[in-house]
Structure formats: C-alpha cells, structure tokens
Amino acid sequence: MKALALEFFKLRRKWILVMTTLFLGAEMFWAFMSISKSMARNPDSTGWEAIIVTIASMNGLFLPIISAIVVSRICDMEHKGNTWKLLISTDVKRNHIYMAKYVCATTVLLYYIVLQTIAIAVYGIVVGIASPLPPSLMIQFIGGGIVTNFAIVALQQWVSLSIKNQAFALSLGMVGGFMGMTSDLFPVILRRIFIWSYYSGLSPVSYHFTNHSMEYVIQPMGAGALAIVLFMSIIFYFAGSFHVTRQEV
Amino acid sequence: MKKSISAEWLKLRHSRIGLILIVMPILSLLIGSANYYFNQGALQHGWYSLWVQISLFYGEFFLPLLIAICCAYVCRLEHLNRNWNVVMTAPVSVASLFLAKLAVVSVLIFIVQVFFIILYFVAGQLLGLSSTFPIEAFGWSLRGWIASISIAAMQLGLSIRIRSFAAPIGISLSAVFLGLGMYVTNMGMFFPYSLLTIGIGALSQESLTGVENSLFLIMNLIFISAFSSFAIYRLQKNDVIQT
Amino acid sequence: MNTPAILATNHLSKYYNNVCRVNKVNMAVHEGEIYGFLGPNGAGKTTTLKMLLGLTKPTEGSVSIFGKECSKNRQFILSHIGSLIESPSYYGHLTGLENMRVMQKLREIPDKNIQEALHIVRLEKQKHKKVEQYSLGMKQRLGIAMALISFPRLLILDEPTNGLDPAGIGEIRELIKSLPKRYGMTILLSSHLLTEIEQIATSVGIISDGNLLFQGDMEILQARNKASICIKTQDDASAERVLLTYGYMPVHQHGHLHFENMSDLQVAQVNKILVEAGFNVIRIEEHKKSLEDIFLELTGKERSL
C-alpha cells in the first residue's frame, strides 16, 4: 500500500491524467464522427449497439497504444533517474514495487474506460437514441476492456522495465494497436492468441456481414475467452515480475 | 555541420534501433499483402491495388509512428545522463545540432523507404503480379520521404521540449487522426501528417498535377523550415535544464 | 594578478521566478591560475558556471572569456574550453572510447588526444566497456577525460572529485595541479570543501547565497585560516596570569586558553612554563578554522552551511 501511494506520488506533475484524457478525446472525436456518418447513411441501424461496436474496435487501436505510453512513463522514470537501484536499497521489496506500478497503470486505464463509458452515454443521449442505456451491455463493455487491459499492461510493463530503450515498448504497443484494429480480419485461432484482439473479442456486440449488409449481433462474454485473457495476464505478470526482479542492475 | 552529423551517427551504435526500422515495414507489408491475397477477386488493378493495401497500413500508421519513435530516440539520448550539458558546450552552432538530428532521422527514414519499395517489389513477384512494375511507386516513396522530413522536424521539436519518451508518440498518433480528418476535408496540404497521406498515395493513386506537386514541395519546405527554426530558436533561448 | 583576466563576469545575475540565485557577481580568473570557486551547496556555484558556458542565460550582466563577449563569440570561446558540469554526462549504451569519439567528432581533434586523455585518467583498460557498467568513480574520470580531450586553454570543473574514493581524490587533485604547468591550462573548479580548494587552488572565490563574498589569492585566505593553539589546564585563570608574566597573551575563551600565531617552539615553551609552575596541562590542541568560521569573518554574521 505504501509502495502504491508512492507510485501515485511520483506521477505528480507528469500530466498523465491530462494526457490520457486528451488521448481519449482524440479517440472519441474520431469515433463519434464516424458513427454520425454511418448513422446518416443508414438511419435504421441507430442504437447503442452501433456505438458500442465502433468504440470497441477503435479501442483495439487506441488502448494498446495508450497502455504502452502510460506504462512506459511509469517505468521510464526509474531508468532515467537510475532510481531502480535506489528503490531496491530501500526496505520495500522489488516485487511490491512491481505490483504497485502495475496497479497504478491499470488504475489510470480504468479511468480511461470509465470516462469513455460516460462519453458514450452522453453522446447517445445527445443524438437522441430512443431506447434507454442498456446496463448489461455497458457492464460487459467495461468489464471486457478492464480484463484486456490487465493482460496488456502486464505485457507492456514487462517489456518497459526489462528493456531500457523505450522504443521497443512503444513499438510493441504500436504493433499491438495495429493488431487490435485489424483483428477482425484474422482467423479465429490467431485472434485467440493475440491479446490485443480481445477489446473487440470481449465486446458485448459484434457485427457480421451478410449479403453486403451489416448486422449487429449481441455476443455474451465467452467464459473460454475470458479465461484465456486472465490466464495470459497472470502469465505475463508473473513472468515479468520474476524476470525483472532478478535482473542485474 | 558535417561533424555534428557524424557525431550523431556514432551515437546510434549499439542501439538496436535498426531492428525496429526493419520489422515495422515488414509487418505492414505482410498484413497488406495478406489482405490483398484474400481479396484478390475484388481487387482488379494489380500493382496499384497492392500499393493501396500496403501503403494504407504503412503510410497511415506505421511510418508516422516510426518517425515519432526515431525522433524520440535521438532526443532521449540527450535527455539521459545530462548529455545536453556536453552537447550544448560543444563548439558547434545550435542550429547544426538540431539539423544534424533531423538529417540522421531523415537518412534512417530514407533507408526505410528504400527497403519498403524493395519489399513491395518482392511481394508483387511472390503474389504473381504479371503487369510491369509501376514507375509511380518511386514517386510515391520519394514524396512520402519528403513529407516524412516535415513530420520529423515537428516531432523533433516536441521530443526536445518534452522529456518523456512516450508522450510525443501519443501526440503523433493523435496527429495522424487529425491529419486524416484534414485530408478528408481537402485541407491536407496544410498539415504535415496529411501531406504524408497525399505524398505516399495511400488513399488515392491519381498522380498529382504539376501545380499540386509544386504546392506539395512548397508546403513541405515551409513546414520543415518553420518547425526547425522554431525548435532552434527555443534551444538557443532557453536554459539547459538537466536533472 | 597583473595579467588581464582570461575570464571576467560583469554584474552576472540570475533570477528564477523572481528569486535571486546569483547576485551581481564580478568574477575574474587570470591566465595560468587554478581558481577555486568555493561555497556551500545551493550557493549558486553551478548556476554561475552554467552561465559562463552559456547553458543558462543570465538575467542580467555579461561574461567575457579570452577577452571576447560570450554571447557573440559562442563557438570560438567554446572551442577553447573543456568542461564538466554537475555530474558527468555520458551515453550509457556506448563504450568509454565511443563516448570520447563523439566528443572528438564534435571538436575535430586528432586521435592521439583521446589516447592521452584516457591515459591521464587511467581508463585505458576499461575503454571498451559500456559506460552504463562503469562505477560512479569511473564515470567521473570519463567526464574529466571528456573535458580534457581538446587540451583546452580553460578548463571548468564542477565538483570534480565527487563520487571518487579517497585514493582517487588524491590522484585527481595531483592531476589538476599539474595541468597548468604541463599544458598551460587555466583551471576554474568549484567545491564545497575548503580543504580541497586549499590543497589545489592558487586563487579563490567564495560564494554564498549568490553573492561573491571574497575573491583573491589563496595566501590571503590562508592567512585568515592559520591554525590557533588551545591549551586547557586545571586552572586556566591562574595559568593565564603566569603566562602573562612571560609575555604570552592568550585569550581566555570557551574554557580554553587561546593562542594565535604560535610557532612549534613557542608551544613547547608554553608547555614547559606551565608544567614547571606546577599546572597540570590537560590537553594542547591545534584548532583549524572551519569554512564556517571564515564565512563568519567574511560576512560578520552566522550562516548555516
């Protein structure tokens, strides 16, 4: 707990929340533009489903990258100031620091998703969607995002802390974002392996193309998929923690 | 100027940045080619269709972020371990320090562009494209490179100012989307990121008219000189702060 | 002191958010000197040195080096200065030799300078090791080698013995002392340790709270810093009376008898007198003035260091 408070303390004056908010702004601006365009084209398919499915697939692009950025910023300050050594010599255990950084990063991303959900609700009401906000869909949307973040943050933290040159961590985030964006093009087996595809994979809504027309399908959260993501989170977290805490400094 | 560039080049040793420079184009090419392969039925224009597929991913996503990463990297070297102290007390002009960084990033991106066009050729052969290789591809790459220098000038300015490695890259991603928006609304000539879209022919392969070509060049020149002089001015004016 | 100053500042001042860090400093360093820039941490030493090098822009005042105005002849002046500011700068992913090569490229100097500079700081054996694997002391040596690389006319070193072990400190001190004679350099070095400045410098400037309190030859400072002798006996008051009859004039303070300017022979004499007069001499101590005492004298008021 002490270590976690310290992590948040160290983020002061780093503008990390401002930055994530601006980043979210860019995503939402883009998403709402494209949603209003498609709504204008076919007015029948206006509904919460359309919004959720668009945002979920855009999250596939944006969340891996913002995760990479947030995690890199939290980890890089130790590389920059050579403070990792300093931290180890205090009585705080290394794996506690690792845990604190992880919790800190996932909290910032939780903020992102919550803010995003609020933005969706506000937008839906503003454009006048008739039906009320479906709570079950929204809960699944938030849940899917959070769980996928768990795995991605764990992976990014491993890379950011073990490789000093942050270009690698950021490139991984970039590749991840790209995978997330194009995941619907991949065969199912690859989609199961690439964790970045779970933003749309765990989304409560997906769409299918039938005879050149798009159709929204409600998909319940698959227990199998959920298990895979959680399993990968655990693997990445402990592999990273094990590797980094045993690394020479 | 020459000495600054060779010093800059020396700093890139052991950095393994080359790995990233190679992997990114390969990745965008693989995905683009796969997309082409699975949709061959709908894509009728051979080499041109293949270019659309691969340059869309490359020009709208990988290349701009790659530029941002390169710029962030060459600045991170100085942000670490108080190196601005040494660099700013070297007997070279502040302008040449900045321009050397810009030159090195430009050369790196040039190599990436050459590599990319080779990959494009190889992919076309492997996919069995029968028609002749389009000469325009060289023009697209070259113009893409020129627009890349504008982006690099902007990103270098940001990365010198912002000490974080990751933040300027986040900004560049936002700028990519802003650039797409400006391209769609036909204001593409007024933003470096959309100049890249125009230059590389990612969304439209129609060749530019002579007027458009000159406008493209002039806009890039304006951006490069404006961003560079602003960054150099700031470097000269501000105190060197190192932790 | 008759030679014109190689480095001079004129009312050099720096304000950060309207808080004064360096206040109208007029500094003068002469050719061939080792100028010790002395002051407690946070006194404005580094800020002043950074202004000399143009790393920090003065709020007011000007700097001239080699008789030229700094803001106008930046490149010329920098090409004749070597510097090490704050802690050493280095590219961790490069080897020691490659770090030197970066400096070489920027300064256009021959290969043999690299060898010589590395030899002087005794880093030849480790030159192919990445600098991130160096110890703090080795990084400091590399920083000195990088400052020396062009064997400049003027060498500016900020706390050069930071992070070195006692043996290393002694070695670097000897090295710095030898530079003016061997290479005709002028050296400006800062420190917060009076003893260090005393052992190396020929001139000294003392800064505190951004004000240059004293500037001049080392001997002048050393005169102020002469050791005094304290003697404690069973009965100081009576002992003082006895000594007065022999012509000694101790000051009775802080429970000691205090003597200024005593030679060794005189100390022995005083001891003999006291013992023969039947006093038990409890201790005889040599008392050096600390930096604090000198500050106290210079400013006439108490300062915390």
Minimal Cα–Cα distance from B210 to chain A, Å?
33
SS3 content of chain B, % helix, strand, coil (to 5): 80, 0, 20
**Which regions of chain C does DSSP assign to beta strands (E)?**
5-16, 19-25, 28-30, 34-38, 60-65, 68-69, 81-84, 154-158, 186-191, 203-208, 211-217, 228-233, 251-253, 256-259, 281-287
Whether A109 and A71 have beta carbons less than 8 Å apart is answered as no
Which percentage of chain B shows pLDDT scores above 70?
Answer: 97
Cβ <8 Å between A23 and B167: no
Contact between C127 and C96 under an 8 Å Cβ cutoff? The reply is yes
The closest of C178, C188, C249 to C48, measured between CA atoms, is: C188
Q: Is residue B104 a contact partner of residue B12, using CB atoms and an 8 Å limit?
A: yes
pLDDT per residue over B35-63, tens digit each? 888 877 777 778 888 888 888 888 888 89
Considering the segment(s) C226-287 as one domain, its CATH architecture is 2-Layer Sandwich (3.30)
Tokens of B134: 């389009």
Task: Give the C-alpha separation, C96 to C118, whole Å.
Answer: 9
Question: CA of B32: which chain A residue's CA is closest?
Answer: A182
Tokens of B225: 């000189």
Q: How many CB atoms lie within 10 A of CB C188?
A: 26
> Chain B contacts of C79, Cβ < 8 Å?
91
Nearest Cα to B89, choosing from C145, C113, C55? C55
Q: Which residues of B touch A175 (CB under 8 A)?
A: 27
Task: Classify residue C253 as exposed, middle or buried by CB count within 10 Å of its CB (0-12, 13-18, 19+).
Answer: exposed
What contacts B235, CB < 8 A, 6 or more positions away? B88, B94, B97, B98, B160
Instruction: Give CA–CA dist C101/A144, Å, rounded.
Output: 52
pLDDT attached to residue C304: 44
Q: For residue C57, list chain B residues with Cβ-Cβ distance below 8 A.
A: 237-239
Is pLDDT larger for residue A131 or for residue C24?
C24
What mean pLDDT is predicted for residues A45-67?
A: 85
Cα(first)–Cα(last) distance of chain A, in Å?
25
Whether residue A127 contacts residue A54, with contact meaning beta carbons closer than 8 Å, is answered with: no
Q: A12-15 long-range CB contacts below 8 Å, 24 or more apart?
A: A14/A73, A14/A77, A14/B164
Q: Cα–Cα distance between A67 and A176 in angstroms, integer?
A: 10
User: Does the distance separating the beta carbons of C89 and B82 come in below 8 Å?
Assistant: yes
Which 8-state DSSP code applies to residue C34?
Answer: E
On whether the CB atoms of residues B63 and B148 are closer than 8 A, the answer is yes
Give the whole-angstrom CA distance, residue B170 versus residue A80.
Answer: 19
User: Residue C98: its chain B contacts at CB < 8 A?
Assistant: 10, 13
Q: For residues A62-91, give the mean pLDDT.
A: 81
Of B35, B57, B165, the CB nearest to A76: B165
For residue C188, which of C51, C83, C274, C56 has the smallest C-alpha distance? C83
Residue of B nearest to C16 (CA): B239
CATH class of the domain defined by C5-219: alpha beta
SS3 A91: coil
pLDDT of residue A153: 95
Structure tokens at C50: 């950074």
| Alpha-carbon distance values, A81 to A78, A85, B108, B137, B242 (Å) | 5, 10, 29, 46, 11
What is the residue-level pLDDT of chain C in tens, covering all 305 positions?
Answer: 456 788 999 999 999 988 999 999 999 999 989 999 988 888 889 999 999 999 999 999 999 999 888 888 888 999 999 999 988 889 988 999 999 999 998 888 898 999 999 998 889 888 899 998 888 888 999 999 999 999 999 999 999 888 788 888 888 899 999 999 999 999 999 998 888 888 889 998 988 888 888 888 887 777 766 678 888 888 888 888 888 888 888 888 777 888 877 788 888 888 888 888 888 888 888 877 666 677 667 665 544 44
**A217 in B contact zone (CB under 8 Å):** no
Residue B164 near chain C (CB below 8 Å): no
What chain B residue is nearest to C102 in terms of C-alpha separation? B7
3-state class of C115 per DSSP?
A: helix
**pLDDT tens profile A161-219:** 988 889 899 999 988 988 888 777 777 777 788 888 888 878 877 776 666 666 677 77
Sequence length of chain B is: 243
Mean pLDDT of A112-128: 89
Task: Identify the pLDDT of residue B142.
Answer: 92
B20:A26 CB<8 A: no
B169–A170 CB contact, under 8 Å: yes
Tokens 């109208």 belong to residue: C24
Tell me the C-alpha distance between C143 and B85, whole Å.
11
**CB-based contact C118:C77 (threshold 8 Å):** no
Q: Which tokens is C70 given? A: 């700094």
Residue B24: which H helix or E strand, with range? helix B17-38
Average pLDDT over residues B158-174: 89
What ipTM describes this predicted complex?
0.83
Q: What is the per-residue DSSP string for B77-89? A: HHHGGGHHHHHTT
Chain A 170-189, residues with CB within 8 Å of chain B CB atoms: 170-171, 174-175, 178, 182, 185
Which A residues 77-96 touch B at CB under 8 Å? 79-81
User: What pLDDT was estimated at residue C152?
Assistant: 92
- Least-confidence region, from A41-50, B1-10, B210-219: A41-50
Residue pair C279/C271 in contact by the 8 Å Cβ criterion: no
Domain coordinates in residue numbering, chain C: 5-219, 226-287
d(CA A102, CA A150): 9
The phi and psi torsions of C159 (rounded to 5 degrees) equal: 50, 60
Domain boundaries in chain B?
2-237
- Mean pLDDT lowest among A141-145, A152-156, C8-12, C210-214: C210-214
